[in-house]
Amino acid sequence: MRLAWPPILTVAILAMSGAAAGPLEDAMAAFQRGDYATAYALTRPLADQGNAAAQFGLGDMFERGRGVAQNYAEAARWFRLAADQGNILAQSNLGLLYAAGRGVPQDYAEAVEWFRLAANQGNVAAQSNLGIMYHDGKGVAQDYAEAVKWFRLAADQGNILAQSNLGIMYDRGQGVTQNYAEAARWYRLAGGQGIAVAQSSLGILYANGQGVPQNYILAHMWFDLAAAQGDAAALTNREYAAGMMTHDQIAEAQRLAQEWKPMR
């Protein structure tokens, strides 16, 4: 099982939400209705004047290619300008660019520093990403206990990738005492919101009766949901589970998968 890495999840609208009324508010409205050219035209002068929220918003547009041609180097430049002024979302996103080597040379230690700045101020995405860096030993010495600490902080605030990764830590017994029931609890939270690796992992626990009563119907259902998202291991495991089931049980599992809806 691989830990789940996110895309850059934050959007310009979130960073601008606390801004004063005026051009930036108009830029927000334009962004929300999909008029990215207008959003850019309104945001750029403010960013040039040093407005940190506008600088973050501009970085977001360059990162996504909305209203401008996609340009990771420009995204990194504007994120840095905002991050240097203390914009937490910019700090978190700049960390992701350094981790991925997009627009800047890949530098895990630099990524860790930006993640830590944002994470210490409560940014959930940065907390989750810092946990991954500690798990993988990238930019810091590998430390599973420290990874669990950051995953838990983010997971307790509802970050679904951190919930999935915390489930993996309990499943493997990394940084915590191995506890399949806790693994199942976190997998269920993340899998219930559509994270494929959590769905697949929960299916394995049901198939093996680890932390949950053995139940091939539920195992098949979770494998089915993960396989529908392209999880190759889930596809293989679904076939294994099917070999242990009757035709009626397989039909029931398929019905449950078809009727399943993500938690909100």
Radius of gyration of the chain (CA): 21
Residue 236 lies in a domain: yes
pLDDT at residue 5 in the model: 46
Q: Is the pLDDT of residue 1 over 60?
A: no
Over the stretch 63-103, which tens digit does the pLDDT of each residue have? 999 999 999 999 999 999 999 999 999 999 999 999 999 99
Parent domain of 205: 196-264
Evaluate whether residue 137 is within a structural domain.
Answer: no
Q: What is the pLDDT of residues 121-141, one digit of tens each?
A: 999 999 999 999 999 999 999
Q: Measured between alpha carbons, how far is 61 from 75 in angstroms, rounded to an integer?
A: 8
pLDDT score, position 263? 86
* Overall average pLDDT of the 96-113 stretch: 97
In the predicted model, what is the mean pLDDT of residues 34-56? Answer: 93
Residue 252 included in any domain? yes
Report yes or no on 203 lying in a domain: yes
DSSP characters over 167-193: HHHHHHTSSS---HHHHHHHHHHHHTT
Considering its fold, how many domains does the chain have in total? 1
Looking at residue 21, its pLDDT comes to 54
Cβ(40)–Cβ(48) under 8 Å? Answer: no
Q: Around Cβ 243, how many Cβ atoms within 10 Å?
A: 9
pTM: 0.88
Averaged over 194-212, what is the pLDDT? Answer: 96
Domain membership flag for residue 216? yes
The fraction of the chain above a pLDDT of 70, given in percent, is: 92
pLDDT surpassing 60 at residue 20? no
Residue 233 lies in a domain: yes
- Whether residue 158 lies inside any domain: the answer is no
Query: Can you tell me the distance from the alpha carbon of 44 to that of 40, in angstroms, rounded to the nearest whole number?
Result: 6
pLDDT interval class at 182 (50, 70, 90)? very high
| 157 occurs within a structural domain | no
